[in-house]
Amino acid sequence: MKKSLSHTEKVLNTWAIVLIVWSLYRAQFKTELPLWFDEFVAKPVVFLVPVYWFIKKVEKKKFFESIWLTPKGATRELLYGFLIGAIFFAVGIFMNRGLPQTGLFTTAAFLPLFFTSFATSISEEVLSRGFVLRRLYEESHNPFTSSFLASVLFFFLHVPILFSSDKITGQLLLQVMTTDIILSLAVSFIYISRRNLIMPICIHALYTLSLYLFI
């Protein structure tokens, strides 16, 4: 008799499907399509649709409650998120040894990148933290092992873009890979301790913004 999959195995299988589809997308298009299409169209479809379907159809739960994305204390979470995110933004400046072109700080240039960084962060945090990490933590009740595993999965989720972008090479590639792991571990512990996805989204978005400005 075939053994049925555990709930965690189903979650990880869903994550694996997302990774496979996203890898195929990157292999096909690399970074040739506009950034806005990648982050506002392709990534939400590939990352969020399977998560939403799983929560609603398999778990039969409310979506936002199931990923700890709630309005409770939103103002405080946003404030702390921007403060901590500023640290990771500064890390981006340090990695690139200076400031980006001043032209990028005009309203017309900066705002699209700012909103795009949040679109990127929402898709990746919902999948990596709200979906995967929460369920790993609820099964193990161990914030360290669940955060470490979620961070490893988060890293692999970025492998397709790291190795398909002509701009991320050599020492910068190693720096981005290392910072991705540190970022993921930090926001994982914050997510578990705060039980709210708002702060991780803000922190992640500001770090992503530094990459968009410099790379």
Range of the domain at 141: 7-214
Q: What is the mean pLDDT of the chain?
A: 88
| Predicted pLDDT at 177 | 82
| Predicted pLDDT at 186 | 94
Does residue 99 carry a pLDDT above 70?
Answer: no
Note whether residue 134 is domain-resident.
yes
Number of structural domains (the chain) is: 1
* Average pLDDT, integer, range 62-86: 93
Residues 6+ apart with CB under 8 A from 21: 46
| Predicted pLDDT at 83 | 94
| Predicted pLDDT at 38 | 95
Report the alpha-carbon distance of residue 55 to residue 101 in Å, rounded: 43
- CA-atom Rg of the chain in angstroms: 17
Report the alpha-carbon distance of residue 23 to residue 86 in Å, rounded: 30
DSSP secondary structure string for all residues of 161-185: HHTT-TTS-HHHHHHHHHHHHHHHH
Task: Kindly report, residue by residue over 120-153, the tens digit of the pLDDT.
Answer: 999 999 999 999 999 999 999 999 999 999 999 9
| Predicted pLDDT at 212 | 81
Does residue 89 carry a pLDDT above 60?
Answer: yes
Query: Which region holds residue 60: left if phi is over 0, alpha if psi is between -120 and 50, else beta?
Result: left
Q: Using pLDDT thresholds of 50, 70 and 90, give the confidence band for residue 214.
A: confident
Note whether residue 77 is domain-resident.
yes
Residues 6+ apart with CB under 8 A from 162: 168, 173, 176, 177
| Predicted pLDDT at 107 | 62
Q: HSE, CB side, 13 Å, CA atoms: give it for residue 36.
A: 6
| Predicted pLDDT at 169 | 66
Q: HSE, CB side, 13 Å, CA atoms: give it for residue 57.
A: 9
Note whether residue 151 is domain-resident.
yes
Residues 6+ apart with CB under 8 A from 120: 39, 43, 204, 205, 208
* Average pLDDT, integer, range 170-180: 77
Q: Are 66 and 11 within 8 A, CB to CB?
A: no
Note whether residue 171 is domain-resident.
yes
Report the alpha-carbon distance of residue 177 to residue 155 in Å, rounded: 7
| Predicted pLDDT at 98 | 53
| Predicted pLDDT at 149 | 96
Chain position carrying tokens 């988060």? 154
Note whether residue 2 is domain-resident.
no
The rounded percent of the chain whose pLDDT value lies above 90 is: 66
| Predicted pLDDT at 170 | 65
Q: Are 31 and 164 within 8 A, CB to CB?
A: yes
Q: Using pLDDT thresholds of 50, 70 and 90, give the confidence band for residue 69.
A: very high
| Predicted pLDDT at 189 | 96
